[in-house]
Structure 1
């Protein structure tokens, strides 16, 4: 009956506004069971908003957050729209994280307001693999608009939180409509058996996961395909006899 269909439509709209979409949402797995197992659907939900920030206020952790985001975007299909307000994104670095320059469309907005408008328009377009925006502040109202735009098109929305001033960093702790919230901090590189610099390592913190659990992981940074990895247990084992030998000598 007509009344039944109208009621079903209203219920679906309410569920979407409350973040409980009845439809099965596709997910982009990390390919690391320890991480995917903590996320509903076995990966990052597509058609949803996700937040990423550096663990500290310095440029190093901020760069790690951008590389983590680039690795996620690299594993989607299609072009990636990356919105910024500052021309300081280093394209060769994100290429090393798997996101080839030919796939990225860069948009420079004049201010945060214009940035959020470009972010939302990109999500509503529907023909992109992912939309990334580097934002300092993200209100509940703005995040809800972005979340609904992502749901409508099925596009992955990635908000990289960046701050010009220390006072803006506190905004990252405020509630938003994002499905997940991540924090990335740089760890010392894995030691090598020969002189050199090993693969970068990060402390990856899942601070919020809707219908999931919070967790933290020590991971090796994105490779050329945008994939993370857990630190090799073999490398840890090889170092163990040396440590035991030093203790015995002492």
Structure 2
């Protein structure tokens, strides 16, 4: 596998090898990514595990955590202003770092996201879209490669028919799905830290996997649940993966 990756890198050229990486800081996750984290200058695709608002909100917070760990302003392109800013801030991405662009449809959002990526002075560009064709995703990927800015596409569906599009191939380097799980229990009455099932369902030059993780904290970082800290999460992941 290592020799194959070296051959691919030689074909893709030095710019591919020298691309910067944004690690999650969790070996269990970064170890499944060929570059040891999310490649900057690339397109990454994220969706909620279901069609409901709860999983969609988890996907948005997952993206906010990633964007918060970049340097610079974040361009967030959306169809309508329905983000809850305090929740985004709790994931580490504060309001003074975000530039919101409200667009009316996917076509306009994609155009704004591409323009933001080509600008080259942003930490991340986020686009909330229902449909993402291969052509549109290639344009975003090329724009991200040219500037080195990470592109994050959140798939949001307001109609059940649009969700089918998520199964179609795109040029995204990774594709993720985030679902809400019961929060971590507390020793006293109350609600513990949110918990997610994070699925890596596509990874270029890598393999799929899924992880049970605690949601982003105030610095945008994920964590392993306490019951996984003192055992091998890799074995647990592959046990569940094999039984699926």
TM-score bracket for this pair, using the shorter chain length: 0.7 to 0.9
Equivalents in 1 of 2:97, 2:119: separation in Å?
Answer: 16
* 2:129 is the counterpart of 1:135: yes
The residue aligned with 1:226 is 220
- TM-score under structure 2 normalisation? 0.87
* 2:66 is the counterpart of 1:92: no
The residue aligned with 1:154 is 148
Equivalents in 2 of 1:234, 1:78: separation in Å?
Answer: 34
Deviation at 1:25, TM superposition (A): 1.7
Aligned length: 222
The residue aligned with 2:199 is 205
Q: Residue 64 of structure 1 aligns to a residue in which SS? A: helix
Q: Which residues of 2 match residues 13-28 of structure 1 at below 5 A?
A: 15=12, 22-28=16-22
Equivalents in 1 of 2:34, 2:122: separation in Å?
Answer: 23
Q: Residue 29 of structure 2 aligns to a residue in which SS? A: helix
The residue aligned with 1:32 is 26
Equivalents in 1 of 2:175, 2:23: separation in Å?
Answer: 16
The residue aligned with 2:5 is none
- In structure 2, the gaps of 5 or more residues are 1-8, 232-244
Contact (CA 8 Å) 1:25, 1:41: kept in 2 or not?
no
The residue aligned with 1:6 is none
Deviation at 1:23, TM superposition (A): 3.3
Contact (CA 8 Å) 1:52, 1:161: kept in 2 or not?
yes
Q: Which residues of 2 match residues 1-250 of structure 1 at below 5 A?
A: 15=12, 22-233=16-227
Alignment RMSD (CA, Å): 1.9
Contact (CA 8 Å) 1:70, 1:97: kept in 2 or not?
yes
Deviation at 1:62, TM superposition (A): 0.2
- Superposition misfits of 4+ residues, deviation over 3 angstroms: 20-23, 234-237
Q: Deviations over 1:55-86 (max 9, x none)?
A: 00000000000000000000000000000001
Deviation at 1:110, TM superposition (A): 1.8
Q: Deviations over 1:218-250 (max 9, x none)?
A: 00000000000010138999xxxxxxxxxxxxx
Q: Radius of gyration: which is bigger? A: 1
Equivalents in 1 of 2:216, 2:225: separation in Å?
Answer: 12
Deviation at 1:26, TM superposition (A): 1.2
Deviation at 1:15, TM superposition (A): 3.9
Equivalents in 2 of 1:175, 1:217: separation in Å?
Answer: 23
- TM-score under structure 1 normalisation? 0.85
Equivalents in 2 of 1:144, 1:126: separation in Å?
Answer: 17
The residue aligned with 2:241 is none
The residue aligned with 2:239 is none
Equivalents in 2 of 1:101, 1:92: separation in Å?
Answer: 8
Q: Residue 83 of structure 1 aligns to a residue in which SS? A: strand
